[in-house]
Structure 1
Amino acid sequence: MDDVDAFCQLMEKNVVRDVTLLHQGAEATLYIADFLGRSAIWKQRIVKKYRHESLDQRIRTRRLLQEARTLLRCRKLQIRVPAVYFVDPEECVLIMQYISDGIVLKNYLNSIHGSQEMSFVASKVGQAVAKLHNGSIIHGDLTTSNFLVVENNNRTLLYLIDFGLSFYSNTEEDKAVDLYVLERALLTTLKDAALFVEKLIETYSQESNDACAILRRLEQVRKRGRKLTMVG
């Protein structure tokens, strides 16, 4: 069944309405839709024609269920993530809350001025990543596009999104690599990245259950990254 058939089934039941394409990615197609009166994201994992049909179905289903479980686990850990509304393993469909007023972190950071605001947001990011890792969750794609900032009643809220590459691990290596990916993303998108990263790491070290070992491993990962850059 393709996207259109899946839409039609739910639309016939008056479950989904007003479907609009949001983004076409390599792994999934994202739509904005009305789901039972709520603004939602419809995420459907793309069929990979180069894989055997049954193998492709297993891979897509496993990744879909992993993402849904991770989102639910994050909410138990009091990490702000989109709420899960609907999961269809057979059609590899995940419908979740649409954070319509969220601003992508890289855009938000480049629009604010002042070290105090920067420091505040950096602490929020450090706390969120520490909570993830304390809960044995590796995001797998910690970029500035996968954090959303929401200004709500004079409060600044931070959401984590896109857990399509997430997995569970307690190893220092996996947590250090997660941090390194975020650090590199910040350094390439943010003007005052060094100060931001410093505050982020400082907060992470205070909130993480195993900060010393993870940050020691992070230094090793950085060295490997620099060597790869030099080799080209």
Structure 2
Amino acid sequence: MGFLFQGAESIISDDGETISKKRVSKSYRIKTLDQKITRSRTRREAKILKKLEELGMPAPRLINVCDDTIVMEKIDGVVLKKRIEDSDDPRALFFELGTLVSKIHLANIVHGDLTTSNFISGDKIYAIDFGLSYVSLKDEDKAVDLYVFERAVGCSHDSKFLENFYEGYMRGGNEDVVRRLESVRLRGRKRESMAFG
């Protein structure tokens, strides 16, 4: 199993056919509590991957799970962020991404870390890294998911492509989520104005 990288939450390894994600123990937590939290978060992520597979969503297929490790299918392709950066006209990519995120939200899954770095572009776009994901019926939670994505796009890409993203997103419905997004944006702007005086 070849080491790929270590993030704040996990160590990612690649054996050529599968990806292994091992959650990192937090030394500042009581050991028994740390084990309980790690097991709970690992199982939650595994359940979401399983649900996505059952729904036929483009995401890594779950292969195995234990207390702190998930083994999943390796997706061939490149990180969507790089594919967009290399593209002369990424409008179709943003449209496809919006369609996928809409389907994820319609399944009542909140990704929790929507950035173009958490998608793989291969024969189609695949969603990856569901470590912060959870199930929610609330439009508010899904709207916050979109707000996080908007902020991420503003840092990494041209925000004008959000129009193409929302064209794809609205194809699946989710009008209530987009309406709720307006109030989430307003709260975000208020927080920013308070922070900068």
Q: Normalising to structure 2: TM-score of the pair?
A: 0.94
Unmatched runs of 5 consecutive residues or more in structure 2: none
* 1:4-32 deviation per Cα after TM superposition (whole angstroms, max 9, x unaligned): xxxxxxxxxxxxxxx22111111111111
Aligned-residue sequence identity (percent) comes to 40
Q: Find the counterpart in structure 2 of residue 220 from structure 1.
A: 183
1:9-48 equivalences under 5 Å are: 19-33=1-15, 39-48=17-26
Q: Is the 8 A contact 1:102 1:149 kept in 2?
A: yes
Q: Find the counterpart in structure 2 of residue 6 from structure 1.
A: none
CA distance in 1, matches of 2:5, 2:97: 25
Q: Pick the aligned partner of 1:131 from 103, 112, 115.
A: 103
Q: Is the 8 A contact 2:18 2:74 kept in 1?
A: yes
Q: Which amino acid aligns with 1:106?
A: K
Unmatched runs of 5 consecutive residues or more in structure 1: 1-18
Give 3-state SS (helix, strand or coil) of 2:41's partner. Answer: helix
The structure with the larger Rg is 1
CA distance in 2, matches of 1:199, 1:145: 18
Q: Pick the aligned partner of 1:105 from 74, 80, 100.
A: 80
1:1-232 equivalences under 5 Å are: 19-33=1-15, 39-89=17-67, 92-99=68-75, 101-114=76-89, 118-150=90-122, 152=123, 157-190=124-157, 192-194=158-160, 196-208=161-173, 211-232=174-195
- Which is strand-richer, 1 or 2? 1
Q: Is the 8 A contact 2:81 2:116 kept in 1?
A: yes
Number of aligned residue pairs: 195
Q: Which amino acid aligns with 2:169?
A: Y
CA distance in 2, matches of 1:78, 1:226: 37
Moved over 6 A (4+): none
More contact order relative to length (CA 8 Å, sep ≥ 6): 2
Give 3-state SS (helix, strand or coil) of 1:78's partner. Answer: coil
Q: Is the 8 A contact 1:77 1:131 kept in 2?
A: no
Q: Normalising to structure 1: TM-score of the pair?
A: 0.80
Deviation at 1:57, TM superposition (A): 0.8
Q: Find the counterpart in structure 2 of residue 10 from structure 1.
A: none
